[in-house]
Structure formats: structure tokens, C-alpha cells
Chains A and B, each alone.
Chain A
Amino acid sequence: MSDAYDDLAPVPPPKLSGKALGIGLAVVLPLLALLAFGFGRDPHVMDKPLVGKEAPSFSLPRLADGQQVQLADLTGKPMVLNFWATWCVPCAQEHPNLVEAARRWGNDVQFVGIVYQDKNEAVEAWLDRHGGRAYPTLIDVNAKAAIAYGVYGVPETYFVGADGVIVDKHVGPIPWPVLQDQVAKLRGES
């Protein structure tokens, strides 16, 4: 077959294949609609619908012994709830901050880690490596707690007052000054 310029073979007439058109559009239009829906939504802005409301209760097994722990067992003190996972990179970055905070203020404030979408063995190994058994770790089976709290992604940290009301929430790895501030607020309240 030649691609010569003087190939004057006419352009063949088009013939519409309804099937090909239908399948193609069926794949592409929903995708476009979805992307269009994405506008007007800033993924960087997290709503905090739960702030000011009572912290959703949960009952989750503790990593250490598999015992079910209820939210009610922990209240009485203000609380820092940290959702995290071993596969989450920023979680490792913020971890020393949480450990240090728990060491300093653990008597006044209850720190709790809730592990999201993970395997127990991986969590054990991770905690061994990062030296982080300063506070209890709960396993969020089927992400029930994460859904109840509206966790978008890990890490996310919730600050709960002694009365069980969510005071604030931080999305992403928590820097030391922010954590210090939040804990100071919690301790001031109680």
C-alpha cells in the first residue's frame, strides 16, 4: 500500500455504527458528568459537620488483647482520637508528635489511635518500629468508626471534650504547635 501524494483514491463514505457510538458514549458521558460534578467542590476544604456535636459512639476491639472498647469507657477525660494506618505516609510523620503529647499530657487527656483499613500484624510491626505504644490502639473493623466520624482519609485527628462533644478536628498530619494548642484547649476546658 502506498502513501504517495498522488494516491487520489476517494475518501470512502462514512457509515455510522450505532453500536460503537452507543457503547463509546455510554462509557464516556458518565465519566464527563462525574468530572463536571467535581467542580464547585474544593477537595481541600473539609467540612466539619460533627464539630459541636456529640462524638459518635463506637465499640471496637483493642489491638493489645482484642477486648471490645466502647467510647463510653474512655470518656470522663478529654480525648484525642487519631485515625491512622500503617500504609499512610504522613501518619508516620505525625506519630512522634502524638507519642510525645501522650507522654506529656496523657494524665489529663486520653489519647486513642484508631487504625483504618489495615491488618493487625502490620499494625503490631509498625508500632514496634515506631515505638508507639504510649496509648491504646483500636482496630476499626470494616471502617465503622471512620464512617461514623466521616473520616475522609488518614490521618485525621478529632478533639473531644470531657463532655463527649467534638471540639475540633484536624485533617492531615498534625504539626506539633497545632497539637499543643488543641491539647491546651482541651485541658483548659476540663
Chain B
Amino acid sequence: MLTNAFLGRGLILLSIALAAAGAIVGYWGGRRRTEAAHQWTKSLAYSFGFSLVLANVVMIKALLEHDFSVKYVAQVGSLATPVHITIVSLWSSLEGSILFWGAVLGLFTIAFVWRVADKHRDMAPYTIATILTIGVFFGFLLAGPANPFLDTPLPVPKDGPGPNPLLQNHILMIVHPPMLYLGYVGMTIPFAMGVAALLRGRLGAGWMRPIRTWMLIPWGFLTAGIVLGGWWAYEVLGWGGYWAWDPVENASFLPWLTASAFLHAAMLQERRGILKGWTLMLLLTTFCLTILGTFMTRSGVFNSVHSFTQSPIGPAFLVFLGIAMVVSIVLVALRMHLLTPEGEVRSPVSREAAFVMNNMLFVFFTLLVLVGTVFPLLAEAVRDVKISVGEPYFNRLGVPIAISIVFMMGIGPALPWGRASKEELSRLLGPPIIAGLLVTGFAAALGVRQFLPAVTMFVSGFAAAVSLRDMVEPVAVRFRRGGVSWLGALADAYQRGRRRYGGQIVHLGVAMMAVGIALSSSYKIVTEGVIDKGQSLSVGEYTLRFEGVREETLPHRRATIAQMTVMDQSGAVLGNLEPRMNHYRGQMNPIGTPAVRSTLFEDLYLSVMTVDPGGAYVGMRAFVNPMIYWIWIAAGIMVLGCLIAGWPARAESRAPATAPGEGVPA
């Protein structure tokens, strides 16, 4: 009988067969380079991708039909769950999340084959073969330890418990995981491209350019995924913050750091032919870190709010991680003799030197976070003590590095390639430094006088000024030459330097985010107290009056809602906020949902600690968090910049990004 479970299992097995066949043909074809092998590899890759996507379609169908004979549906489905949450429960638990991983890998495979395979026939078979090898691994997970399509033991239940309540609480939970998956899984493609370059023994700039593009895509998704995760935590978890250096947050941040380093190092290799081995190592490391991150969340080895319970796939992931790392190292070691630099950094006062510095900082940051994350494990292994590494470690060491990175983000684009003379230096750095000081002064006038926030204001203002100049200057040069309108000059400059515009927009976003993070963490106000009905609590310049509670009952949850009136100092009513306590069906502990009143410059954030069901009193924590919204907007700007830089190019705009003045025809 063609049940959902049977169909799903069949598609998974098919995908394994297709991936294995494609990998063999691809490696063989990469060596022989015959047209037949190329076409076969492509077809097998397409089929592999479609079979995994189809398997996901089958699972969604099973979820929507509440087909509890499928074990995964019996685990996470519930008749009371609304339809959109039912679809989302595809990735709400371990097996489903691996299945969804497969779908994303399938989609990336299809996209890569479609866009790149015929343009780079030299490299495509090896790349596809590597992707499909990774596909075989995930196929085995889905067929074995993380099989979502197992039959439910009889008798088949009539209803299920529904997904994890935290996933049902907020719209952001629908967007955050797929973004993160697109980021994580997407890193497979540039990794495979790097492996292909090593297998093929050709590491020229011609292949580096598409690798960079294919790294930019998952980098953008990862950026969005990390920030959406923080935003979700902020809107849902009720502790008033968005980042806690939790192992799983770190797990997503680690590959982000090395990917960011790679994107810069690759430019250096493209322009100057240096740091070839380093760039490749970053590329390979980034992928290994995504696997390490997945291992962290899925193995149960790390203690984290995100951890799935101890699962059988941990050992499989560890073996896979080991293979990926060792293969990477062996490949690099075998090709080391081809990785000699073609150029050199001639002066410490140059863009290439700044890039090298920026890369050092990124990698140093990576090591710091990695050590802090695995340290508890190390302490237990060596001294048999259980310890945890708290936020102070990460903040004390990480904040100075982050500030330095923002500073270098201004230095790098300000300096020319090659060498800068003294006069050039003051012309290039002077105005942005003044801009940075102005921003710092302005912020100080508004009350930002602590040391680290003030330094952050300076480096952000400095870096933003450099980015703005870098975008405006080419337009001004074209306009002054005459014959074009401002708009025409802008269009022309944009066409010729789209990658640069994208990059600088990302930088503006980073500068803005640095401001938001520094101010929101340094200048928040927190108050808590028990408020009786009709009484008030003051926080910052707000007064909160507790009006009573109301109950809301939905099929899958019941909520006790505290009704708060928000007033300013003069007593004028600004609005109402309704933080709540949710009680989910089949769950013991209630889960609070905070209520947030956001403005561009500050958030009022209310979180219920305890509430009297009769509405006589409420225990409330109230935060005034400045500049939080800037962080979310900044992330949007970063993603926009990434889109601009990575959007498929039309032929005429494929010229390299030009530095101020240098790429303009006379």
C-alpha cells in the first residue's frame, strides 16, 4: 500500500542511490572530463535534489493530513494545531529538521547545477561529486538514526501532542530556522567548490569568483538567521535580551565569523594573489564549523536551551565531522606546493595589510568563541569538574575584538592597494576620523559617556563615513566630468561597482548594528516589582498601571493576559501592553510572552514573572532598552547589501570592483 511513510522511505533510499551514483560518476568525470560524464553527473544531481524535495512534500502532506501512522507526525502533530504551525513542525523536532536539511541541500544542489555546471565544466563534476558525497551522509541519517518516516507502533494514536510550544509562540520562529538552515546548508556548496579546486589542482582567481558568490549567498542567510534568532529570543523568551553566548548561538556565530573572513581574504587573493592557502583553509573550516554547530545542537553533548535531547545521530555527526576535517587537511597538504603566493604585502599602510589584519581579528574571534564553547568539556575531561563559561568571558574578550573589527572595516576601504604616502594618509583618513569624533561628541552630548560605548560610537562613525565616501565619491567623479546628471552618474557608478556598493552597504549595516548593540547593552534600565490591581510601577520615564487580567482560550493553548496601561511622566496614556502567560496543552510549565512597545530609539519591554489568576496582582519585570530596533534594521541593511553584491550579474557589470578614482576611464 502506498502510504506516506512508505513513499517517504522510498524517496530517501532513492536519493541515497542517486547521490552515490552521482558522486562516483562525478569524481570519475572530473578526472576524465568527458561530455557524457558531465551530463550524467548533472542529471543525477538534479534527480537527487528533486527526490529530497519530494520527500519533504510527502512529510508536509502527512502532517497536514494528520497521518499519525507516520512516527514523526505522531510526535509533533496535533489536531488542535493551526495549519501554518503544522507546516512549520516539519523542522520542529530532530528527524524533521534533518529531513528539511535534506530539502535545502537538494535545492542548493539544483541551483548550483543550473547556474554553474555548464559555465565551469572543468570544476563542476568534482564539485557536484563532493556535494553528493555529503548528500549520501545525510541520506544515511534519514534512512537510519534520524528516520522521520518510520511507522508508528500500533495502535495508531488518534491525536498527538503538538510541536514544542516555544515554536508555536511567534511568527519569527517560522522564519528563523529556515534562514539558519539556508545559511548552514548553503555552506556545503562553496566547500565543495574548494574541494574541487584542490582535487583539480587549479586554484586560480577565475574559480575564486564564483566561490565567493556562492559563499555570499549562505552568508546572507546565516546573517539573517542569526539575527532573527536573536529577535525571536527577545520577543518570546522574556529576559529582555537577544544574545547570551549560549553554545548554540555560538555554533551559528562561528561559521559566520570564518565566512566573513573568507569573503575578505578571497578579495585579496583575487586582487593580489596572496593568502591562497589561508583563504582555502577558511573556506574548508567554515563548512566544518557548520557541521560542528549541527553536532553541538544535535548530540546532547553541550548544555544549551536549544539542545535536542540526546539523540543517536551525535556519533554519526562526529564521524562525519572527523572525515570532513581530515580530508580537508590532507587535500591542502597535498596541494601546498601550488599555494605559493604570487604577490606580497609591500607596506603595512595598505589595503592588503588592513585585510590581513581584519582576517587575523576574525580568526582570533573565532578561536575565542570556540575555546569558550568547548571549555566546559575540556575542564571535565582534564580535571573532572563541571563548569560553565559565562557571559563575562565572552564579553570581556569579544567586545574589544569586535570594536577592532569595526575599526578595520573603516581602515581597509580607506587605504589604497599597494602603499599609501603620508599626504594620502591624512587625506584618506582625516575626514572619516573627524566624522567619527563628531558622532562620539554627539552621542556624549546625549549621555553616552562610558568608555566602551564611546569607543564604539567613534569606530562606527569612522567606518560609516568611509563607506559613505566610498559610495559617493565615484558618483561625484563621474558627475564632475560632466555630461551626466547626478542620477546618471549614480547609475553608472553602481553598474560598474555593484559588488563594492553591496559591500559598503553591508558595512553601513555593521556600523549601525555596532551602535545598537553597544547602546542597548550599556544603557538599559530594568525594574521589577509586584503590582496590585489599579496600582502603578515606574520604569525609566514610563509609568505602568496594572488594570487586571483577561483570559484567552484557543484550542491548543490558554493564556492569562496582564493588561497594562503605559503612561509617560505627565500621565498621558501612550498605549496598552499585554504581556501574557501561556499554558499549552500537554505542557507542565507556563511560558511567558513579553509585550514590547518599540520606537526607533527605545523599547519598553514587559515580561510577566507571576500572575494571580484572579487578577489581584502581577509580578512584572520592565525594561527600557535603548536602540534595539537599530539592530534589526541594521541586519536588514546587511542582507540588502549582500543581495546587491551577490545578485547574478549581467555581463557588463562583471568588471572588478573599483577603488576610488582608479577604475574611472579618463
Q: Do A and B bind each other?
A: yes
**Cβ of B303 under 8 Å from chain A:** yes
Q: Is B387 an interface residue (CB 8 A)?
A: yes
Does B385 contact A147, Cβ atoms closer than 8 Å? yes
Query: In angstroms, how far is the closest chain B Cβ from the Cβ of A41?
Result: 7
Interfacial chain A residues near B200, Cβ < 8 Å? 11
Binds B, one of A18-26, A107-115, A162-170: A18-26
| Interface positions of B from 90 to 127, Cβ below 8 Å from A | 119-123
Query: Does chain A have a CB within 8 A of B164?
Result: no
Say yes or no for B300: interface residue by CB 8 A criterion: yes
Return A139 CB to nearest CB of chain B, in Å: 15
A173: shortest Cβ distance to chain B, in Å? 10
Contact, CB under 8 Å: A17 / B318: no
Establish whether residues B338 and A12, one from each chain, have CB atoms under 8 Å apart when the complex forms: yes
Inside 8 A of B315's CB, which chain A residues have their CB? Answer: 39
A87 to chain B, nearest CB (A): 5
Given contacts A1-B206, A153-B387, contact A11 B332 (CB under 8 A): no
Asked if A3 meets B31 with Cβ closer than 8 Å, knowing A85-B390, A153-B388, the reply is: no
Q: Is A188 on the interface with B (CB-CB < 8 A)?
A: no
Contact between A4 and B329, CB atoms less than 8 A apart = no
User: Complex: how many Å from CA A186 to CA B233?
Assistant: 37
- Contact at A35–B528, with CB atoms within 8 Å? no
For the complex, is A31 an interface residue (Cβ under 8 Å from B)? yes
A44 in contact (CB, < 8 A)? yes
Closest B residue to A18 by CB, please name it: B333
CB neighbours (8 Å) of A66 from chain B are: none
Contacts of B479 in A (CB 8 A): none
Q: CA separation between A90 and B244, bound complex, in Å?
A: 11
Residues of B387-437 whose CB lies within 8 A of A: 387-388, 390-392, 395
Q: How far is the CA of A131 from the CA of B537 in the complex (A)?
A: 13
Cβ of B326 < 8 Å from any Cβ of A?
A: yes
Which residue of A1, A24, A32 contacts B204 across the interface (Cβ within 8 Å)? A1
B-contact 0/1 string along A1-17, CB 8 Å cutoff: 11111011101101111
Most buried by A among B322, B332, B527: B322
Q: How far is the CB of A118 from chain B (nearest CB, A)?
A: 8
Main secondary structure of the interface of A (DSSP, over half): loop
Is A72 an interface position by the 8 A CB rule? Answer: no
The count of chain B contact residues (Cβ–Cβ below 8 Å) is 71
A28 / chain B contacts, CB cutoff of 8 Å:
322, 325-326, 329
From 33 to 56 in chain A, residues with beta carbon under 8 angstroms from any chain B beta carbon are: 34-39, 41-44, 46
Query: Are A35 and B336 interface neighbours, CB within 8 A?
Result: no
With the chains together, A163 CA to B206 CA distance in Å? 76
Task: Mark B73-97 against chain A: 1 for CB-CB distance below 8 A, else 0.
Answer: 0000000000000000000000000
Task: A12 to B336: give the CA distance in the assembly, Å.
Answer: 12
Mask of B311-352 contacts with A, CB within 8 angstroms, 1/0: 000110010011001101110111111100000000000000
Asked whether, in the complex, the Cβ of B387 is within 8 Å of the Cβ of A152, the reply is: yes
Q: Give every chain A residue within 8 A of B122 (Cβ-Cβ).
A: 3-5, 7
CA distance A90 to B207 in the complex (A): 49
Whether the pair B390, A117 counts as a contact (CB closer than 8 A) is yes
Flag whether A138 is at the interface (Cβ < 8 A): no
Tell me the residues in window 343-392 of chain B with beta carbons closer than 8 Å to chain A beta carbons: 374, 376-378, 380-381, 385-388, 390-392
Known: A88-B390, A89-B239, A152-B388. A17 touches B301 (CB 8 A): no
Instruction: Check A37/B377 contact, CB under 8 A, given A3-B120, A43-B301, A129-B527.
Output: yes
Tell whether, in the assembled complex, residue A93 and residue B609 are in contact, meaning their CB atoms are under 8 Å apart. yes
Report if A76 contacts B (CB, 8 A).
no
Asked whether any CB of chain A lies closer than 8 Å to the CB of B621, the reply is: yes
Query: Cβ of B310 and Cβ of A42 under 8 Å apart?
Result: yes
Interface residues of B in 440-491 (CB under 8 A from A): none
Min Cβ gap B119→A in Å is 7
Flag if A38 contacts B33 (CB, 8 Å).
no
A12 contact set on B, CB distance < 8 A: 201, 338
Could you tell me the distance in whole angstroms from the C-beta of B356 to the nearest C-beta in chain A? 19
Which A residue sits closest to B388, measured CB to CB? A153
B390 contacts A39, C-beta separation under 8 Å: no
Given contacts A93-B239, A96-B610, A152-B387, contact A32 B302 (CB under 8 A): no
Residues of A within 8 A of B241 (CB): 89
Q: Are B207 and A3 in contact (CB under 8 A)?
A: yes
Q: Other than the known A41-B380, A43-B302, what 19 A-B pairs have Cβ atoms closer than 8 Å? A: A4-B122, A8-B33, A11-B199, A20-B277, A20-B336, A32-B325, A34-B374, A34-B381, A43-B300, A87-B391, A87-B395, A92-B621, A96-B619, A129-B527, A130-B526, A131-B528, A131-B529, A153-B303, A154-B390
24 contacts between A and B (CB under 8 A): A11-B31, A11-B201, A15-B334, A16-B334, A24-B329, A32-B318, A35-B295, A35-B318, A36-B318, A37-B377, A39-B314, A43-B302, A43-B376, A43-B386, A44-B300, A88-B390, A89-B244, A90-B239, A92-B526, A92-B621, A96-B528, A153-B303, A153-B387, A153-B388
Shortest beta-carbon contacts, A-B, top 3:
A5-B121, A24-B329, A153-B388
